[in-house]
Amino acid sequence: MSFSENVLRAVRQIPKGEVRTYGEIAEVAGSPGAARAVGSLMKHNRDLNIPCHRVICSSGKIGGYNGNLGKKKDLLEAEGFIVTAKNMLKKS
């Protein structure tokens, strides 16, 4: 399996109401330190079956979402998270 396939598989397995960091996904995909590559894959993913909104920055910031942070914020809040004015994530 390729790195990309491993990343997408790992993201598909994130349960609703949970998040993982780009770095955690990189590690699960077999490439620790490839957090930016995970971010790039998430940026270009168009498969709605991949819950990319559940992947966040290690700092707690929600990161990007195909240029639509409002949608990522809404999806996360619908799953029980609070997104602050600085786009930081907290579990409600």
Judging by DSSP bridges, how do beta strands 55-56 and 20-21 pair with one another? Answer: parallel
Residue reference for tokens 């079956």: 49
Compute the chain's Rg from CA coordinates: 12
Q: What size, in residues, is the chain? A: 92
For residues 5 and 79, what is the distance between their CA atoms, to the nearest angstrom?
A: 25
Active site residues: 52
For residues 45 and 58, what is the distance between their CA atoms, to the nearest angstrom?
A: 20
